[in-house]
Amino acid sequence: MQAAPAAPLATPWAVELDDATVAFRLADARVYTAVERARLSVAHGEFVAIVGPTGCGKSTLLNVAAGLLKPAAGTVRIFNEPLTGLNRQAGYLFQADALFPWKTAVDNVAIGLEISGASRAEAHAAAQKWLTLVGLGAFAGRYPHMLSGGQRKRVALAQVLIRNPKILLMDEPFGPLDAQTRQIMGNLLLDLWTADRKAVLFVTHDLEEAIALADRVVIMSAGPQSRIIGDWRVPLPRPRDIFEIRLEKEFHTLHREIWSVLKDEVLKGYAQSTGETSAV
């Protein structure tokens, strides 16, 4: 519970996964090792994207960083402290819809402050401000089912950011959205992040999105026993506009380079996912 007044330079890493191995016990008592010896560090204020074929263990890795899953082996450190229980420094934007369907948009955003003791009026004022920031000021009274998929993601983003977490975990947050909305959301995310740099761990299956947004792109191999097989620094300058940045030459060079590694894994992952079903 104690807020460690850590000297910022003594702890360069916000998140450190040290040889983290994650295994699931399957229904027939077999053990499925999803991720093996993942080693990954995210610095203060750094934006890291994780890319990998579906089912390779990206969500699993985020759950480990969030403290929702315990690794079978290896350690997780958050600001140099070993993680036990939930990661209280992190905000998590889930892949699936996670808004409370029985709360209006503004109530959904306000809840994070309310439960930590803020008065209702205070929490609501702050929530209204955040809704305006994500462009939904006029939608405060709507319930989640009355919002579009993109609007729901905006509310979810505000819900997480209002608590001002030091670490932001995002699991394919724009996955179900159409291409235009994704780019708009990407720019919105970059704007918010530039204003207040948090350590971001951003999972996506879209390599272009990863390069456009991140400082570093990390590639995972196809599962089982997925590993981290590549780590690229993105040399593109900030501030970025992700509509424009795709036209840069450096973008294409990097994309080609990473894709040459990723392609094999995607094919392997696809072959496995189809092979698995025929083997059963």
Give me the residues that bind ligand ADP (CB under 6 A), please: 24, 26, 32, 34, 52, 54-60, 223
d(CA 207, CA 9) in angstroms, rounded, equals: 32
Whether 219 contacts 52, CB under 8 Å: yes
Q: For residue 68, what is the DSSP state?
A: S
Q: How far is the CB of 160 from other proteins (least distance, A)?
A: 8
Q: How far is the CB of 228 from ligand ADP (least distance, A)?
A: 12
Among 59, 87, 151, 183, the residue binding Mg ion under the rule CB under 5 A is: 59
* DSSP H/E element including 47: strand 47-51
Q: For residue 226, what is the DSSP state?
A: B
Q: How far is the CB of 219 from Mg ion (least distance, A)?
A: 15
Quick one: 41 or 272, whose CB is closer to ligand ADP?
A: 272
Among 44, 77, 88, 246, the residue binding other proteins under the rule CB under 8 A is: 88
d(CA 28, CA 151) in angstroms, rounded, equals: 41
Nearest to 16 by CA among 61, 68, 72, 69: 61
Residue 143 found at the interface with other proteins (CB under 8 A) = yes
Among 96, 138, 247, 280, the residue binding other proteins under the rule CB under 8 A is: 96
Nearest to 53 by CA among 263, 209, 243, 215: 263
Quick one: 96 or 121, whose CB is closer to Mg ion?
A: 96
Q: How far is the CB of 184 from ligand ADP (least distance, A)?
A: 24
d(CA 223, CA 276) in angstroms, rounded, equals: 11
Quick one: 53 or 91, whose CB is closer to ligand ADP?
A: 53
Residue 202 found at the interface with other proteins (CB under 8 A) = no
Residue 63 found at the interface with Mg ion (CB under 5 A) = no
Q: How far is the CB of 100 from other proteins (least distance, A)?
A: 6
Q: For residue 44, what is the DSSP state?
A: T
Q: How far is the CB of 163 from ligand ADP (least distance, A)?
A: 24
Q: Please name the residues in contact with 156: beta carbons below 8 A apart, sequence gap of 6 or more.
A: 93, 94, 97, 98, 99, 173
d(CA 30, CA 152) in angstroms, rounded, equals: 38
Per DSSP, the three-state class of 34 is strand
Residue 146 found at the interface with other proteins (CB under 8 A) = yes
Among 86, 261, 267, 271, the residue binding other proteins under the rule CB under 8 A is: 86
205, two tokens: 């299956």
Query: Residues interacting with other proteins, by CB under 8 A?
Result: 66, 68, 86, 88, 90-92, 94, 96-104, 111-112, 115-116, 143-146, 159-160, 163
**Site residues (vs Mg ion, CB under 5 A):** 59
